[in-house]
Structure 1
Amino acid sequence: MADTDSSTAIAMVAGESSGDLLASRLLSGLRPHLPQARMYGIGGARMAEYGFISDWPMEKLSVNGLFEVLAHYRELKGIQITLRDRLLADKPDVFIGVDAPDFNFGLEAQLRQAGIPTVHFIGPSIWAWRGGRIKKIARAASHMLVIFPFEEEIYRKAGIPVTYVGHPLAQVIPMVPDVAAARSALGLPADGRVVAIMPGSRMGELKHNTIAFVQAARILAQRDPGMRFIAPMAGEKQSRFFRELVSQAGLQDLPIQLLDGQSHTAMAAADAVLVASGTASLEVALYKKPMVIAYKMMRATWEILRHMSYQPWIGLPNILAREFLVPELLQHNATPQALADALWAQLEDPARQEMLRQRFTAMHHALLRDTANESAQAVLQVIEQNRRQPRRTSPA
């Protein structure tokens, strides 16, 4: 493929901040090969750094939970249909769905049926729940890019072309974090304990997790008055909502340093992290930090999902370790006292901190690949294979 192929068009959809970060790594590998290619769809600020043009705000897709999605169904469906029609008319060389499976797989299936090759970056957790989705994936994706080594065999057995590319975050995050530099960058003292509070990037996650997380921080502050708290926010909208929730709960007396993004700097600076389940928990592990994984959601959603899991863990570090390396406190168990006690126990246990550093370092090495280049090469091969296919002709 010519390095200056200005006719190449790549459409992508990423639905939240973690997808934006992951997609940006893929784009960093693609851009050197396709410096003039048009890249567009739905994405965030990190993707924009590589010339990606987002036709809708990425936050429109950042909805989680069964009933929360239903409340936004009409708007989400409208975006999906409009984008589908645009892509069917435009016929990009490839469509890449980055996570957001409920939105992307339906779109991918229709595009693939029309002859547009589709790549899905990051397989949904069919190994954790809803394994029946493998049939839907087979219809939707021309090629899967997976980020955990055990996923390759799952897709190969299902006859789905797949490439294990490692986890992009393992390449981005340093093997040994620079705590001093991170604290200096955030204006934090070099000594004294720092705890990062990360209730989630989605509005629904903030709604359900923030109060318990901040109340837990207040309990920790009573035990260690010198403890500092930092809370990276995905954007101004999330930051404003966080402040509103804290104020409404009468918790504004606890000094929490809100950060505009800078989640990785916060993790590097922290001694421990209180984190919502999701990609962020893996990021914390790659920064080799003790953590407590917690998650709350609508009661009706919880009652459905808790019966659908195939395994006892929900946090990615524990799933990869196949054991409870760090505590998980979910729904009714995620009380402020329980969260505080679980985090305090790790802060007070140097031997456990060292054990976690060793285990998380081994995990980091296992996930480390040249993800940007390997994922880009897989996408380029999909584009080339499609170009070699006989072009469809319209009926006379």
Structure 2
Amino acid sequence: MEKPVMSVKVALVAGEHSGDILGAGLMAALKSRYANIEFVGVGGPLMESEGLRSFFPMEDLSIMGVAEVLRHLPKLLKHRKQLVTFLRQQQPDIFIGIDSPDFNLTIEKRLKDVGIKTVHYVSPSVWAWREGRIKGIKKAVDHVLCLLPFEKQFYDEHGLSATFVGHPLADAIPRETNKAAARRQLGYPELGQYVGLLPGSRKGELARMAPTFLQVCKALKKTHPELKFIAPMVNQARADEFTALLEDNDMQTDVEVCLGHSREVMGACDYLLLTSGTVALEALLIKRPMVVAYRFAWLSYQIIKRLFHAPFFSLPNLLANRAIVPELAQSDATVERIVAHMEQLIDENNQALVAEFDRIHQQLDQSASDVAANVISDLLENRM
């Protein structure tokens, strides 16, 4: 198919690694559609490799936690003000804010006010908490690109144009993950039963969840001495912190620590014990039975329990719209309850659960970058 000869300028802003991945995929798909396309905005190395010259380093936006955000707030506000001025001067044909809603929605509102089309890629969790934010989103955004199917229904109900594009992880992870091949790749014996431990990638999560996970391992080892435990850590700092916890609990020989390769470790394991978040979606797509356990920091939980109104907090259950995996939060995330659910997984064949995981995988596997690029093309060419 011949590419349109029209000249197109697309602005994008991503604030963290996951957004950089989404942005790069979308940029590549748009480049295949337009012969003369220019990208401006903010992104990371992947987006820069597709032709974006970042207005400032993406790392400046990759800030987590209330205290950290407050400490960097003057710099963030200055960046946003300068970026809005720059983008208004550039006059892009369309602006795409990728996730990072606290930063991007304000930019989208200010650009939409001067007639620039705006798209938000990755829906804020407005369906789960602070539903009143939908009013601000409608003022800021012309179209939302949703990764999860139930999100589009929410926007339809509130009169905001939205498209379910699928989830890039479902595109990237094959429908079948070979357990024996994953074990060979990691250098583990092919025989035996493995439990993967994923207690969180952030310091606070690890401190809250890892001691409980290790006590679960101790209990399971008594009834299932054949079990082997593997804990992939996102970086050396988390690995050092987790190793110190192993020493504190006298479990240095019971749990193997692996640096990186979390997806491969999940594929090598028979069962998983993990925290909530994207890792639970990865576990679903890899088709491994799991128990999800999480504890929020005390202040965060006091806020969330008053505002959160979704029926579940783990993505597998939200996507299935029913409880298909055990999810235990706060005071429910006890050693005894986690052990009971893990024992149940070990005792069952879990075929029905794996079949449900595969159904959801198929639903999410939509070639997200291509679907998103089609929507952007329709907006650019006034077909929407």
Normalising by structure 2, report the TM-score. 0.84
- Offset at residue 137 of structure 1 (A): 0.9
Counterpart for residue 147 of structure 2 = 147
1:40 Cα offset (Å): 5.4
Determine the structure 2 residue equivalent to 1:316: 315
Flag the 1:213–1:109 CA change in 2: closer, same or farther, 3 A: farther
Is the counterpart of residue 377 in structure 1 residue 374 in structure 2? yes
| Farther-moved stretch of structure 1 (338-347 vs 295-304) | 338-347
In structure 2, relative to structure 1, the CA distance for the partners of 1:190 and 1:20 (3 Å cut) is farther
Deviations 1:142-190, CA, capped at 9 Å, x for gaps: 2111123333233234332222212222222212222222222222221
Provide the C-alpha distance between the structure 2 equivalents of 1:293 and 1:4, rounded to a whole number of angstroms.
50
Q: CA deviation at 1:376?
A: 1.0
Q: 1-side partners of 2:119 and 2:365: how far apart?
A: 21
Task: Please say if residues 206 and 242 of structure 1, whose CA atoms lie closer than 8 Å, have aligned partners that are also in contact.
Answer: no
- Look up the equivalent residue of 1:88 and give its one-letter code: R
The answer for the alignment partner of 1:266 in structure 2 is 265
TM-aligned CA deviation for residue 212 of structure 1 = 3.1
After superposition, the Cα gap between the structure-2 partners of 1:324 and 1:10, relative to the gap in structure 1 and judged at 3 Å, is same
Q: Distance in 1 between matches of 2:155 and 2:206?
A: 34
Of residues 192-201 and 286-295 in structure 1, the stretch that sits farther from structure 2 once superposed is 192-201
Query: C-alpha offsets along residues 59-94 of structure 1, whole Å, 9 cap, x if unaligned?
Result: 842415x56654554454444344334433434443
**Could you list the runs of 4 or more consecutive aligned residues of structure 1 that deviate by over 6 angstroms after TM superposition?**
3-7
Number of residue pairs the alignment of both structures matches: 379
Contact conserved, 1:63 with 1:202, CA < 8 A, in 2?
no
Q: Which residue of 2 aligns with 1:331?
A: 330
Task: For 1:111, give the aligned amino acid.
Answer: L
How far apart are 1:303 and its partner, in Å? 1.0
SS in 2 for 1:229: strand
1:250-301 deviation per Cα after TM superposition (whole angstroms, max 9, x unaligned)? 25725433233x3332322221222221222122112211111122222011
CA RMSD of aligned residues (A): 3.2
Answering whether residue 9 of structure 2 is matched by residue 12 of structure 1, we say no
Please list, as runs of the form range in 1=range in 2, the aligned pairs for 1:1-396 lying within 5 A after superposition. 2=3, 8-15=9-16, 17-34=17-34, 37-39=37-39, 41-44=41-44, 47=47, 50-52=50-52, 55-58=56-59, 60-64=61-65, 69-70=69-70, 72-234=72-234, 236=235, 239-244=236-241, 246-247=243-244, 250-251=248-249, 253=252, 254-260=254-260, 262-350=261-349, 353-385=350-382
Decide whether aligned partners of structure 1 residues 211 and 381 sit closer, same or farther in structure 2, where only a CA change above 3 A counts.
farther
CA distances 1:183-237 after superposition (whole Å, capped 9, x unpaired): 2222222122222222334454344434433443444445445534334444x4x
Instruction: Give the drift of 1:359.
Output: 1.1
SS at match of 2:149: coil
Indicate how the Cα distance of structure 1 residues 164 and 347 shifts in structure 2: closer, same or farther if over 3 A, else same.
same
- State how far apart, in whole Å, the 2-side matches of 1:209 and 1:62 are: 22
Distance 1:366 1:304, change over 3 A: same
Q: For each residue in 1:340-394, what CA deviation from the matched residue of structure 2 results, as whole angstroms up to 9, or x when unmatched?
A: 44223212322xx1121111112122223232211111122333349x9xxxxxx
1:11-61 CA distance string (max 9 Å, x none): 22143x444444444344234235774545444555455455553244842
Note closer, same or farther for the CA distance 1:9–1:226 as it changes in structure 2 (3 Å cut): same
Identity of aligned residues (%): 34
TM superposition score normalised by structure 1: 0.82
Structure 2 SS opposite 1:196:
strand
- The answer for unaligned runs of 5 or more in structure 1 is 389-396
Change (3 A) 1:88 1:309: same
Shift of the 230–348 alpha-carbon distance from structure 1 to 2, 3 Å rule, reads same
